[in-house]
Amino acid sequence: MISYRIVISEPHTHLVDVTLEADVDGVTDLVLPAWIPGSYKIRDFAQHIQQFHTPHHWEKVDKNSWRVHCPPGRLRATWRAYCHELTVRTSHVDDEHACINPANVLMYVDGHKDRPCVLEVRAPRGWKTACALDPAGPGRFRASGYDVLADAPVECGDLREFSFRVKGKPHRFVWHGDSNLDVSRLRRELPKIVAAEIAAMRVVPYERYLFILHFSDDGKGGGLEHLNSTSLAFPRWNFRPRDKHERFLSLCAHEFFHLWNVKRIRPSALGPFDYQRENYTRLLWAMEGVTSYYDGHFLVRAGLTTPAAYLKKVAADVERLQETPGRQVQTLEEASFDAWIKFYNPGEHSPNATVSYYEKGSVVSLLLDLEIRRRTKGRRSLDDVLRRLWREYAARGIGFPEERYERICSEVAGGELRGFFDKYVRGTEELSYNRYFAAAGLRLMVRTPSGDASSRKPWLGFKSEKKDGRTVLSGVTAGSPAQRAGLNAGDELLALGGHKVDHDTWEKRLEERKAGERLDVAVFRGSRLRRFRATVGTRRAGSLAIVPVPAATAEQKRVFRAWMGGSWEELKKK
């Protein structure tokens, strides 16, 4: 047994004291992970470790490894960790609460990650402690090994909470602080999401589950999946009105579904982990994109939103994807493989050169699901792919070979899907939306205020942001009039057509122009005044919508009902 103790004695300093004790055979390396599973970027958490101590001679052998020269027997080491970054992937301690991701603060004994562990958390008097690990006494938890320990965040503080049971399993939801979260509504709706996901997967692979919610004050949110829990972050005052509440429900659905897809159904590269370096896979799109597809769909299955509202969200997702030039540059496999250096390090050129494996992965997963349903006349779906991966691999506690994903999709569909994967996963071919939407009696169309699908509006192809009182170009679209004219991200916008503009007015001035018109654009590039001549282009006016085809066949209606749980006729009425 390897024992860990975390003492939070002075939370206002953001420091925690850590003690490790383990029986060792001699010289031993203690190693802190350089990244946290689920967030694919090297983050070097060792930068926050200080005052490492052990009675034996020790030396630091690389950025996150401490070598202790000790005789066989009981090794004891202590250190302090600075915890003052409140995100789902980091640790944060202050005088109100503590959220600790073990991967940030607990070192493992190299070569012995499979040994059982016990964790003791000593929090300030009056604080509650929440953790999804097996309880081993007040403030004490046990894990079968370091991988399980590292995958169980700990939350302490003056916690507020509620609990519920689904399929006899306890689920706990904890948070602290004030917000406009509608707790009574969440208590009614979250169990429905959990039940819908369990119904889809037909297995409950945990004894208990923990939701941890943090409120952010910077407008940012997100989530990180764990084996039997999740950490969620959401803007403190963004839970209302209804559409914002549904976005939070989607986040809950997304992270909860990861307990199957990623944490257990996973390619071999995603566990057991090498915590010191990148763990590469070309299937992050299937882990995150598939989950992103399902998160909104589970709200439909749970009866918390309508098929019409869901399709409106899908249309918005498609629109964002189609406005990303990088979709024609980077494949989904490349986006997955290069997540370590690109997805988590975006810059002004990223939209032109990359595509999100979440965003495009979600849309491609939807089309894949519809194709499987079309080929099997609604009898099978992407659900069957995941259940098959569960039976063959996850139920045995192992990851699957990467090539098996496409193979199983093809077998479930009853025929080869190589063409689909070649075009949309390994290639950058434009998605044939209506070919796949047609399976459910749907089509993608443009809705404009005028009703004219050919309606266009003036366009230059740059975005701006307010920065220290200035209007700065935050991005220039590849192939756009702005790029052809020579404008760059970082330019400070001063005038269009000889008239002063700012972040709030330049689009209005542009709307007064006509396609093909030559327009003077004045900017500061650094300290130099520069003038450019841009030819006004156009872009589609209006927005995309997914609507019923004029007349659907009986088979299309059956596929729609199997997919959405409602009738195609009801959607057409709306």
Distances (CA, A) of 3 to 9, 20, 539, 541: 19, 6, 62, 62
Tokens standing for residue 508: 């209005």
Separation of alpha carbons 238 and 203, rounded Å? 33
> Distance between CA atoms of 535 and 521, rounded to whole angstroms?
10
pLDDT at 339: 98
Instruction: Estimate the share of the chain in helix, then strand, then coil, as percent rounded to the nearest 5.
Output: 35, 30, 35
Contact 256, 326 (CB under 8 A): no
Q: What does DSSP say about strands 160-166 and 57-62: parallel, antiparallel, or unpaired?
A: unpaired
137-159: pLDDT as tens digits: 999 999 999 999 999 999 999 99
Determine the Cα–Cα distance for residues 5 and 18; give it in Å rounded to an integer: 6
CA distance 222 to 232: 6
Chain mean position to CA 5: 31
Only one residue has tokens 């052809």, namely 484
pLDDT band at 574 (very low <50, low <70, confident <90, very high): confident
Average pLDDT over residues 290-298: 98
- 2-158 with 276-451+545-574: one CATH topology? no
What is the CA 352 to chain-centroid distance, rounded? 21
For residue 453, what pLDDT is reported? 58
Confidence at 541, pLDDT banded by 50, 70, 90: confident
Name the CATH topology of 456-540.
Answer: Pdz3 Domain (2.30.42)
Give the pLDDT score at 85: 97
CA 77 to CA 83: how far, in whole Å? 19
- In this predicted model, what pLDDT tens digit does every residue of 394-436 receive, in sequence order? 999 999 999 999 999 999 999 999 999 999 999 999 999 999 9
With 90 as the cut, is the pLDDT of residue 479 above it?
yes
What 3-state DSSP class applies to 256?
A: helix
User: Which DSSP helix (H) or strand (E) runs through 312?
Assistant: helix 307-322
pLDDT digits (tens, 9 = 90+) for 40-97: 999 999 999 999 999 999 999 999 999 999 999 999 999 999 999 999 999 999 999 9
For tokens 């983050």, the residue is 43
Q: Is the pLDDT of residue 316 over 80?
A: yes
Angle ∠(267,199,383) on CA atoms, nearest 5 = 45
Examine the pLDDT at 452 and tell me if it is beyond 70.
Answer: no
CA-derived radius of gyration, the chain: 26
Return the closest-CA partner of residue 100 out of 268, 191, 226. Answer: 226
Give whole-number Cα distances, 500 to 438, 494, 535, in Å.
Answer: 48, 6, 19
> Predicted confidence band at 573 (pLDDT cuts at 50, 70, 90)?
confident
Asked if pLDDT for residue 450 goes beyond 80, the answer is no
In this structure, CATH architecture of domain 276-451+545-574 = Orthogonal Bundle (1.10)
The fold adopted by the segment(s) 2-158 is Immunoglobulin-like (2.60.40)
Q: What would the two tokens of residue 343 be?
A: 């997805």
How far is the C-alpha of 537 from the C-alpha of 517, rounded, in Å? Answer: 8
Q: Secondary structure of 527-553 in the HEC alphabet? A: CEEEEEEEECEEEECCEEEEEECCCCC
Mean pLDDT of 182-207: 98
Give the Cα separation of 289 and 365 in Å (integer). Answer: 7
Q: Give the global pTM.
A: 0.96
- The 10s digit of each residue's pLDDT in 228-264 is 999 999 999 999 999 999 999 999 999 999 999 999 9
pLDDT of residue 451: 59
pLDDT at 140: 98
Strand 209-216 to strand 169-175: parallel, antiparallel, or no bridges (unpaired)?
A: parallel
Average pLDDT, the chain: 96
CB 45 within 8 A of CB 34: yes
| Angle in degrees, 0-180, between the axes of helices 554-564 and 359-375, rounded to the nearest 10 | 130
**How do residues 276-288 score in pLDDT, each as one tens digit?**
999 999 999 999 9
> Is residue 554 over pLDDT 80?
yes
Average pLDDT over residues 502-515: 95
- What is the predicted pLDDT for the residue at 207? 97
CA distances for 289 relative to 146, 254, 266, 368, 558, angstroms: 28, 10, 13, 11, 26
**Sequence ranges of the domains in the chain:** 2-158, 276-451+545-574, 456-540
Residue 52, helix vs strand vs coil:
strand
In the numeric block, the tokens 């729609």 are attached to 560
234-237 contacts, C-beta under 8 A, 24 or more apart:
236/177, 236/178, 236/179, 236/180, 237/179, 237/180
Percent pLDDT > 70 in the chain is 99
pLDDT for 447: 87
Q: What is the pLDDT of residues 83-140, one digit of tens each?
A: 999 999 999 999 999 999 999 999 999 999 999 999 999 999 999 999 999 999 999 9
